[in-house]
Amino acid sequence: MMYVVSTILLNLLILSNTQIPAQSALASDPKGWIDLLADRSLKEWTRVPLSAVGQLRAGQIGEPSPWKLDPAGEILVCEGDKSGHEMFRYGSELGDFVLHVEWRFIRMEGDPAYNSGVFVRTAADGVIWYQAQTGSAGGYLFGNAPVNGTVQRVNLRQKMTENRVKPAGEWNTYELQATGKTIALWVNGAITNEFTECEVPRGYIGLEAEGYRIDFRNLKLKPVR
């Protein structure tokens, strides 16, 4: 079943110079969202290798998956010491939608360059992808995607309006809205990045493992029509 995006959400998707903190789409209109962690078996999720060798570090050599739910079933944990570079892909292809994700890195000694991301409009094999970068220097969109039909690297970091990401150990909220050719990223109260030339009309959503412990919660999806 498809749902109509609220007027409030449309207003949130307008970039402004003031970047006045605003409610998330989930908080402003909590009805009609799909809980992506409702099934504790995680059977809707698939691990996809992103490394150069095309293999998953865990699982294929007798180790458990780095992805698991906490005992309460509320937090999806990615254990960094058990992960290589992979995408945890959800369900089937989507067109237009809003994705709500809350995340935090578990702080490590020395505060390394924590790395992970949230994928949208991504190919099943992860070759073509768009990602919202997490980490202390995150809050922007980049990808490996077609530009005028030719696949190349797209990076919108220089167009990020401000860095609203909180440090490791604290929870951050991302909301990504993909509508037509536009992907907008909302971070902790305001939109920080927007890509208006997406040439991929449908794709998968997913989470990235890249060797660091990261937690996700309140993974919610609302299709848009």
Domain ranges for the chain, please list them. Answer: 7-223
Placement of tokens 């980490």 in the chain: 135
Tens-digit pLDDT profile for residues 46-82: 999 986 544 555 444 446 789 999 999 999 999 988 7
Q: Is 53 exposed, middle or buried (0-12, 13-18, 19+ CB in 10 A)?
A: exposed
Q: Which residue from 163, 164, 147 is spatially nearest to 155, judged by alpha carbons?
A: 147
| Half-sphere exposure for 69 (CA within 13 Å, toward CB) | 16
Band of residue 11 on the pLDDT scale cut at 50, 70, 90: very low
Residue 225 has a pLDDT of: 78
Q: Which residue from 72, 45, 95, 85 is spatially nearest to 200, judged by alpha carbons?
A: 95
Residue 82 has a pLDDT of: 78
Looking at the structure, give the CATH architecture of the domain made up of residues 7-223: Sandwich (2.60)
Residue 19 has a pLDDT of: 56
Residue 60 has a pLDDT of: 47
Band of residue 201 on the pLDDT scale cut at 50, 70, 90: very high
Tens-digit pLDDT profile for residues 30-42: 999 999 999 999 9
- What's this model's pTM, rounded to 2 decimal places? 0.86
Tens-digit pLDDT profile for residues 97-115: 999 999 999 999 988 889 9
Q: Residue 18: pLDDT above 50?
A: no
| Half-sphere exposure for 5 (CA within 13 Å, toward CB) | 21
